[in-house]
Amino acid sequence: MTQSAKQFFDEMQAYGGNVRAIYQAYQRWLANVPTQQLVAKRAEAEVLFRRVGITFNVYGEEDGAERLIPFDVIPRMISASEWAHLSTGAVQRVRALNLFLHDIYHDQEIIKAGIVPQNILTNSQYRPEMVGVDVPNKVYAHVAGIDLVRTSESQFYVLEDNLRTPSGVSYMLEDRKMMMRLFPDLFRQYPIAPVEHYPQVLLNNLRSVAQTGITDPTVVLMSPGAYNSAYFEHAFLAQQMGIELVEGQDLFVRNNAVYMRTTQGPKRVDVIYRRIDDDYLDPLVFKPDSMLGVPGLLSVYRNGGVTLANAVGTGVADDKATYIYVPEMIKFYLGETPILQNVPTYQLSKADDLAYVLAHLAELVVKEVQGSGGYGMLVGPTASHQEIEEFRLRIVSKPDNYIAQPTLALSTCPTLVDQGIAPRHVDLRPFVLSGKSVSVVPGGLSRVALKEGSLVVNSSQGGGTKDTWVLERDDIGQTASQHQDASQFINKEVVC
């Protein structure tokens, strides 16, 4: 299924017509920069990233196991008004998800109300160990990465919520630092919202979720160790926050408290920002062969002797099966209308959904609930009339067996590739922080699929990253471009 570039919304050029207002000044600047210069800047960035050691590990590779995630020098911009929409939407979502997590491990009102089905309690990510456990401030997802995609000027969708140990924020910070170093002039022209305070906000939040009565909590970051693929990020964040980077072997449990081994003897730990999965936290409760965890940690945690961020058991809220209920959760817990939309998923067991899907078969992807490997699947846009009509009969005879989703046309952003500058698909992960309040730093991780036509942005699949510019004002595009025009005019005069 190939589609020409014009069918996709482009962050810079919309549908190939006029350059969007916020990109105008940048586009003019870009038009005057030779591609070789961009290539040279990218090479410079690579040298610097390698020197700083911003690498991720590839499992199972002996030598040269440390790789750089490709960095693209062309930024992805988000206007002030777009950001207002996205950030309030993401905050709203995380507020609801935290309330859901508290509910599902306590009174389970949402099940009683018939909004979320009872069988969520048998989900493998549901942790019975957490039932009745009270966590400080009722915060479960202290750090949440909300993956967003855009399909048109006004349409954003939430692809998934990452509530376990979301990563990538170090790229948001390091990509920004790199862009400021490579293109300082652009930062004078554009009112780009700063992101550098992220570690401070995170630290304040972590301190605020220590157990009551602790005035000066000791916060640590717990990592699986130097061979973990995200180790750079763990080290980076610990350093930025000025806290110890610990591994399981550095911690031990005694008298319902967690201590770290120091050169001066044991030191009490109050908050653990852990970047290690639930399964590996405590060999006494979860995987017994885990060498990464701390025996007894969960028992201390459940008794309120230490805070874990994120909490244990958040996986039940970001699971694919739970995702479809998030808009309902927002209405149920907050009494608000969801600001951000899920990718519409039609459950054909519902009469309304069935009617809609049958009327729009040519636009949708219809999948068998239990199907896999492309069997029993209809791709509307590429199917023949006859195929559609045959499939229609199968749906009607057994509607419960099917779900349907639209084919998502991810937006593209100009990207420097081998052939020059070309549109490539992007997504966006802002990081939502919960402590005393819920907030989001203006920016995020923009991932870009470097392969032409590819919609897969994951770094393990050859995806790269871009700096994300959230603008503080939207009018600046035009004013800045006027300045830019004037200076270009002067330059031309000199050259002539």
Name the site residues for other proteins (rule: CB under 8 A): 50-53, 225-226, 235, 238-239, 244-247, 249-250, 252, 254, 260-266
- Rounded CA-CA distance 26/19 in Å is 10
Query: Which three-class secondary structure state does DSSP give residue 277?
Result: coil
Query: Is the CB of residue 309 less than 8 Å from the CB of residue 344?
Result: no
Q: 187 vs 39, 74, 465, 479, CA distance in Å?
A: 20, 13, 19, 14
Closer to other proteins by Cβ: residue 235 or 358: 235
Backbone dihedral region for residue 263 (phi beyond 0: left; psi -120 to 50: alpha; all else: beta): alpha
Listed in sequence order, the residues at least 6 apart from 198 whose beta carbon sits closer than 8 Å to its beta carbon are 169, 172, 173, 431, 441
Q: How far is the CB of 254 from other proteins (least distance, A)?
A: 7
Q: How far is the CB of 145 from other proteins (least distance, A)?
A: 22
**Count of C-beta atoms within a 10 Å radius of residue 364:** 22
Q: How far is the CB of 245 from other proteins (least distance, A)?
A: 5
Listed in sequence order, the residues at least 6 apart from 351 whose beta carbon sits closer than 8 Å to its beta carbon are none
Helices (DSSP H) in 382-475: which residue ranges?
385-397
Q: How far is the CB of 231 from other proteins (least distance, A)?
A: 8
Closer to other proteins by Cβ: residue 23 or 236: 236
**Count of C-beta atoms within a 10 Å radius of residue 283:** 19
Query: Which three-class secondary structure state does DSSP give residue 115?
Result: coil
Q: How far is the CB of 51 from other proteins (least distance, A)?
A: 6
Q: How far is the CB of 247 from other proteins (least distance, A)?
A: 7
Closer to other proteins by Cβ: residue 225 or 462: 225
Q: How far is the CB of 424 from other proteins (least distance, A)?
A: 30
Closer to other proteins by Cβ: residue 57 or 454: 57
Q: How far is the CB of 261 from other proteins (least distance, A)?
A: 5
Closer to other proteins by Cβ: residue 250 or 328: 250
Q: Give the sheet arrangement for strand 219-222, strand by strand.
A: 244-246, 219-222, 271-274, 307-309
- The tokens for 283 are 């060999």
Burial status of residue 307 (CB atoms within 10 A of its CB: 0-12, 13-18, 19 or more): buried
Closer to other proteins by Cβ: residue 66 or 387: 66
DSSP one-letter string for 207-272: HHTSPTT-SS--EEEE-S-TTSTTHHHHHHHHHHHT-EEE-GGGEEEETTEEEEEETTEEEEE-EE
Q: Which of 447, 427, 423 is nearest to 5 (CA)?
A: 423
Burial letters for 66-100: b for 16+ Cβ neighbours within 10 Å, e otherwise? eeebbbbbbbbbbbbebbebbbebbbbbbbbbbbb
Distance of CA 45 to the CA centre of its chain: 23
Instruction: Provide the residue type at 467 as one letter.
Output: D
Closer to other proteins by Cβ: residue 50 or 197: 50
Q: How far is the CB of 237 from other proteins (least distance, A)?
A: 9
Cis amide bond preceding 310, omega within 30: yes
Q: How far is the CB of 169 from other proteins (least distance, A)?
A: 16
Closer to other proteins by Cβ: residue 245 or 471: 245
Q: How far is the CB of 53 from other proteins (least distance, A)?
A: 5
Quick one: DSSP state of residue 336?
-
Closer to other proteins by Cβ: residue 221 or 357: 221
Helices (DSSP H) in 269-360: which residue ranges?
278-281, 297-302, 315-318, 320-323, 326-329, 351-359
